[in-house]
Amino acid sequence: MELLKEIKDKNYSDDTTWKTRDASRAVLFDENSLVPLLFVSKYNYHKLPGGGIDEGEDKIDALKRECLEEVGSKIEVIGEVGKIIEFKSRVNLKQVSYCYYGRIVSKGKPNFTEEELGRGIKIVWVPLKDAIVRIKNDKPNNCDGPFSFIRERDLEFLKKAEQIVTGGASIDKKV
């Protein structure tokens, strides 16, 4: 998978011993070419669906599980968007996010965890261009939290997905 970007905070050091976490994320389209974003109302920001890959779990299987949990949807993966590596010095974490694009096969209800419910997470369905604008313009109220990484990562994934799905064909023909 193509490496799109490495994101490092100001305290990054090559000498750090990093704990690694792998994650799968997705830019998905429903039957109306709308993209689901997770809106974290407590902190006022949006993010793509996806999450951690469990030990022994395949990247695609993890993505399907996460999308069922977070969006309540079964999905079909069509292709790769790319990967981004984040180095978070504050917690000595190297996170590798693998991003895919695909379509929603069936919609249901999400199964948010208590922690997610406590953050006021809800799904918003928007056109791809609006998803890019929302994440770009988010002004979270927890600026010292993980938002800067999420925003930079998901904005890069959305822009790359836009290039892929609009490269010479309409979204309907690609997804």
Quickly list DSSP for 7-61. EE-TT--TT---EEEEEEEEEEE-TTSEEEEEEETTTTEEE-SEEEPPTT--HHH
DSSP structural state of residue 101: E
- The number of domains in the chain is 1
Spatial CA neighbour of 98 closest among 79, 83, 76, 86:
83
Residue-range definition of the domain harbouring residue 159: 3-174
CB contact at 8 A, 100 and 21: no
Q: What is the CATH number of the domain that holds 88?
A: 3.90.79.10
| pLDDT tens sequence for the chain (175 residues) | 999 999 998 888 888 889 999 999 999 999 999 999 999 999 999 999 999 999 999 999 999 999 999 999 999 999 999 999 999 888 889 999 999 999 999 999 999 999 999 999 999 999 999 999 999 999 887 655 567 789 999 999 999 999 999 884 444 445 5
Residue 50 CA to residue 99 CA, distance in Å, equals: 9
